[in-house]
Amino acid sequence: MTTTTSSPAPATAQPEAGAPEWWRDAVVYQVYPRSFADADGDGMGDLPGVTSRLPYLRELGVDALWLSPFYTSPQRDGGYDVADYCDVDPRFGSLADADELIASAHAMGLKVIVDIVPNHSSSEHELFQQALAAGPGSPERDMYVFADGRGEHGELPPNNWTSIFHGEAWTRVTEADGTPGQWYLHIFDTSQPDWNWQNPRVHALFRDVLRFWLDRGADGFRVDVAHGMVKPEGLPDAAVNAEGLLDIPEGEVPIYFDNDGVLEIYREWRPILDSYEGERMMVLEAWIPEHRLPLYIGPEEAHQSFNFGFLQATWGVETMRAAIEKPLALADAVGAPTTWVLSNHDVIRHATRYGFPPGYRFGEGLGREETPDAALGLARARAATLLMLSLPGAAYLYQGEELGLPEVAEIPDALREDPAHLRAGVPGRDGCRVPLPWRADAPAYGFSPTGESWLPQPEEFGALAADAQEGVTGSTLEMYRAAIALRREHGLGRSDAPVEFLEDLPEGLLGLVRGEVVVLVNTSEQELPLPAGPDGLDLADAEVLVGSAEPVPGRLPADAAVWLRRR
């Protein structure tokens, strides 16, 4: 069996195990505060709830948690509509609760990453309210992207841009004298006006926000819509196709994303992070063409960026291998580690995604009429997770994936909150945000002491509850715990051990070697005999470290993965 090394020795020296650059190979757990744990019983998760569950995260073995926004917000986009960046929404607790969470996490050796939302604020932000009141041409209005409309009376939007949540990206305001007035830009919901990053006061405001959370002990930031802040000069029309929709070639992004000016913002922020003690970091949520990624990361820009290619790859040897090789090569070119992610609060959970019949999709939520194969989805999701956790770089987990939670389709429309659903009727992202089941036999499966839950939990959550899986051999929770521990023990996250792919494997088998660990994924529909390993090694004789399916001696079941240690 021959091997191919995909990851050449990186250009920069890699830190030793336990070295300070913790983010390089960290396993980071995303907490979506609304749905993680509810301490006060109002049916919405909160910060004291998160603090109470930190021992669970420590037990899971992660290095850090990333908290989705918990700031003051009308919650029109689940908190990604921030009205005050430096305070906690009363639904989630208080600043004192945030301090306690950070201190408790630190005491357990867990880092804390907070979300920063610099592309837009909430329309309830004081500065937007002032901008509305102050009128055209005022310094207040210049904090946001306002423009005069086109047409004889300014009745047409300033350009043809559409919102990521469907519909127009512009809303016209009524001026103080009651006349129809200017338009403001909102790449997302109408309740999320875009900041004007050409205004130095916006830069100053966010430098202060960074310092505010760094002073409180945050170890880093996840930057929301990190490719969005700077718009093209003159706000030109975008190209449209025959149906009048924005013409975005495959792999490209709309005209208002990925403009070079955003890189300057990271160069402005990096020295601030570096000026603090400890290793403060930023990870970007940048949905950009892959080849642009290296521009965003490096010693003067961000520490890392989500690599969404792995999440978008369909099940299969070629697709998944390409989704590993490409980002590794790109990241190596700038001496930065890559990241891996399979689920988050915006995409269909991977336990469901992998069960789709041909026609894989990750966005816009799961419709009630769709019937993915749940058992197949979970089997492949577990295998994909083992593949992900064997790779060098940082791995980001989304709450509940360690329980194998599926996407929930059965949510009454009246309870759905995703603005994309409200604007366009798509199912939307609520299905991956259903509150977590902690206890099989408790009201709301232990999510809240009162049994309240802002979204209804399906009955199947009972068997998937954390306490139903704890200590159960072969459960998804125990598989995650084992894999995370083994990943650390074998240094699998480190970038100095290259990824060597096994070549000439039977069809449908993906294999790679990381140090003394051999990782095999059977993407085919039949059980396959374990192949010969590197250097003719007999893998049937190797020690099984962890597997995603019930082990079969000498063989690998369909849709399963295994980590073997060479003897």
Which CB, 83 or 225, lies closer to ligand GLC? 225
Strand partners, 519: 512, 563
The one-character DSSP state at 64 is E
Task: Give catalytic status of residue 285 as yes or no.
Answer: yes
For 207-293, strand residue ranges (E) read 220-223, 281-284
Which CB, 398 or 501, lies closer to ligand GLC? 398
Which CB, 48 or 309, lies closer to ligand GLC? 309
* CB 70 to ligand GLC: min, Å: 14
- Residue whose token pair is 């939990």: 457
Q: Residue 475 and residue 481: Cα distance in Å, rounded?
A: 10
For 14-75, strand residue ranges (E) read 27-31, 64-67, 71-72
* CB 192 to ligand GLC: min, Å: 6
User: 242 to 271, contacts with ligand GLC by CB under 6 A?
Assistant: none
- CB-based contacts of 243, cutoff 8 Å, min separation 6: none
User: 274 to 293, contacts with ligand GLC by CB under 6 A?
Assistant: 285
Q: Which of the residues 285, 301, 364, 500 is marked catalytic?
A: 285
Sheet of 304-305, strand order:
304-305, 281-284, 220-223, 111-116, 64-67, 27-31, 394-398, 339-341
Among 80, 85, 183, 438, binds ligand GLC (CB under 6 A): 80
* CB 341 to ligand GLC: min, Å: 12
* CB 556 to ligand GLC: min, Å: 36
Q: Which of the residues 224, 364, 402, 407 is marked catalytic?
A: 224
- Using rule CB under 6 A, residue 225 touches ligand GLC: yes
Alpha helices in 316-453 (DSSP H): 317-333, 350-353, 374-389, 419-424
- Residue whose token pair is 């650390």: 488
* CB 200 to ligand GLC: min, Å: 23
Which CB, 117 or 209, lies closer to ligand GLC? 117
* CB 420 to ligand GLC: min, Å: 8
Q: Residue 517 and residue 564: Cα distance in Å, rounded?
A: 6
Which CB, 45 or 511, lies closer to ligand GLC? 45
CB 431 within 8 A of CB 365: yes
User: 116 to 135, contacts with ligand GLC by CB under 6 A?
Assistant: 117
- CB-based contacts of 488, cutoff 8 Å, min separation 6: 61
CB 331 within 8 A of CB 522: no
Which CB, 34 or 321, lies closer to ligand GLC? 34
* CB 445 to ligand GLC: min, Å: 24
Size of the site for ligand GLC (CB under 6 A): 9
Among 38, 46, 63, 77, binds ligand GLC (CB under 6 A): 77
Strand partners, 518: 513, 564
Interstrand relation of 64-67 and 27-31 (parallel, antiparallel or unpaired): parallel
- Using rule CB under 6 A, residue 430 touches ligand GLC: no
Nearest residue to the partner ligand GLC, using Cβ: 80
- Using rule CB under 6 A, residue 224 touches ligand GLC: yes
Extract the tokens encoding 430. 């609520």
Which CB, 380 or 433, lies closer to ligand GLC? 433
Which CB, 117 or 218, lies closer to ligand GLC? 117
* CB 228 to ligand GLC: min, Å: 8
Among 346, 402, 407, 430, binds ligand GLC (CB under 6 A): 346
Which of 260, 282, 279, 250 minimizes the C-alpha distance to 269?
282
Sequence letter at residue 169: A
The alpha carbons of the chain give a radius of gyration, in whole angstroms, of 24
Task: Give catalytic status of residue 81 as yes or no.
Answer: no
CB 516 within 8 A of CB 522: no
Q: Residue 353 and residue 311: Cα distance in Å, rounded?
A: 10
Q: Residue 530 and residue 552: Cα distance in Å, rounded?
A: 10
User: 186 to 215, contacts with ligand GLC by CB under 6 A?
Assistant: 188
- Using rule CB under 6 A, residue 50 touches ligand GLC: no
**Dihedral of alpha carbons 150, 154, 157, 158, sign:** positive
- Using rule CB under 6 A, residue 23 touches ligand GLC: no
Active site residues: 224, 285
Q: Which residues bind ligand GLC (CB under 6 A)?
A: 77, 80, 117, 188, 224-225, 285, 345-346
